[in-house]
Chains A and B, each alone.
Chain A
Amino acid sequence: KNQVEQSPQSLIILEGKNCTLQCNYTVSPFSNLRWYKQDTGRGPVSLTIMTFSENTKSNGRYTATLDADTKQSSLHITASQLSDSASYICVVSAITGANNLFFGTGTRLTVIP
């Protein structure tokens, strides 16, 4: 069964600190993995996309890693800012299938001053 699991469910950190969010998946055949940031009451916005052959991809203070062998991904946020407070959603795409997008339930990150 194709699934995407994220951890932790929620996280509170102090401004300026780093944090790492996890995503484990069982989607097959794997096409790509995306991390989205969703501010409260808004639509998700893509942060990074990684294909099978990519191990690391950065977007400013956001760095995503992918281990296709263990089917794990992480999103590392460096020097957190108050504006990083949001939900972070991991989405895994399969190559084929009528339904080829699988969503994690997200990690709710709160950055406090």
Chain B
Amino acid sequence: KAGVTQTPRYLIKTRGQQVTLSCSPISGHRSVSWYQQTPGQGLQFLFEYFSETQRNKGNFPGRFSGRQFSNSRSEMNVSTLELGDSALYLCASRRDRDGSYEQYFGPGTRLTVT
């Protein structure tokens, strides 16, 4: 069974640009969550999608947005990039939203903003 996949794995952008990251969850998983991870900050929750609807949102500005498609694949978009957006962006999927279900992480997309 294939794991969570994320594309691209690495990305370099300049300030002011926008970027779209993609996540394909494990087959059968309907919940997809996105996290930002920077050194010393730990995993910061961005948002969670379930059945194409955003169910929960973290404390990030409106420049961060996402969506989920009918096949559960998800994309995350960051507009007007800032230097502070440089981070590892992790996607995680789980079968359902119930806390008893394990969350599986993808390898991440390393975004560098110059």
Min CB distance B42 to A, Å, is 4
Q: Are B4 and A32 in contact (CB under 8 A)?
A: no
Instruction: State the CA gap A44–B3 with chains docked (Å).
Output: 12
Q: Are A105 and B99 in contact (CB under 8 A)?
A: no
Instruction: State the CA gap A18–B4 with chains docked (Å).
Output: 32
Give chain A interface residues in 61-99, CB to chain B under 8 Å. 89, 91, 93-99
Instruction: State the CA gap A105–B55 with chains docked (Å).
Output: 23
- A45 beta carbon closer than 8 Å to chain B: yes
Chain B interface residue count, Cβ-Cβ cutoff 8 angstroms: 25
Chain A interface size band reads 20 to 34
Q: Are B99 and A41 in contact (CB under 8 A)?
A: no
Q: Other than the known A95-B99, A105-B40, what 17 A-B pairs have Cβ atoms closer than 8 Å?
A: A34-B102, A41-B88, A42-B108, A43-B90, A45-B105, A46-B102, A89-B42, A95-B100, A97-B99, A98-B55, A99-B45, A100-B97, A100-B98, A103-B43, A103-B45, A104-B42, A106-B42
Please name 16 pairs of A and B residues whose Cβ atoms are closer than 8 Å in the assembled complex, sorted by A. Answer: A31-B99, A32-B99, A32-B100, A42-B108, A43-B106, A43-B107, A44-B90, A89-B42, A89-B43, A91-B103, A95-B100, A97-B99, A98-B56, A100-B97, A100-B98, A105-B40
Could you tell me which B residues sit within 8 Å of A by CB distance?
4, 33, 40-43, 45, 48, 55-56, 88, 90, 92, 97-100, 102-108, 110
Could you tell me which A residues sit within 8 Å of B by CB distance?
31-32, 34, 36, 41-46, 49, 89, 91, 93-101, 103-106
